[in-house]
Amino acid sequence: MSRLLTKDFLSGLMFIAFGLAALWFGRHLPVGTTVRMGPGYVPQLLAYLMLGLGFIIAIVALVYPGEAVEAPSWKPITLVTAGIVVFALLFEVTGMFPALVALILIASIASDEFKLGEVIANIVVLSILSLTVFKLGLGMNISMIAGVW
């Protein structure tokens, strides 16, 4: 039973589950042929790759057991998820910069190694990258701060 509760085996099962889910949700998409690919061609190909990779990982984990699974820490999972939800709620109302600041602050609190200087550096770097990629690079009409810019 201990071989079935290793990180590698459970990761293999996760890949298999995602592959099966992708096949299920894409079952109505026409696949087409290699020359004339339909909208379901690439998703189905990726689903089969995930299934194959999952089976390989799971079988290797049964032969060579890795480290056992520990109980999950709920603080990081909860705070990172909450940060994403807050970002989604704030993005339209306040703009990208305040939403990004809230996301980074909430997600950073999840770590046991919270350092304010590193959080501020993350905010500055990610804000500059977001501005560069979305506003300048892609030319998207995203307000950085609602009503201002």
Angle, CA of 98, 122 and 148, to the nearest 5°:
25
**Single-letter amino acid code for the residue at 80:** V
Mean pLDDT (the chain) is: 88
Q: What is the pLDDT of residues 19-40, one digit of tens each?
A: 999 999 988 888 888 888 888 8
Q: Give the distance from CA 88 to its chain's centroid.
A: 15
Please check the confidence at residue 1 and state whether its pLDDT lies above 70. no
109 with 124: CB under 8 angstroms? no
Q: Kindly tell me if the per-residue pLDDT of 149 is higher than 60.
A: yes
> Rounded to two decimals, what is the model's pTM?
0.59
Looking at residue 138, its amino acid is L
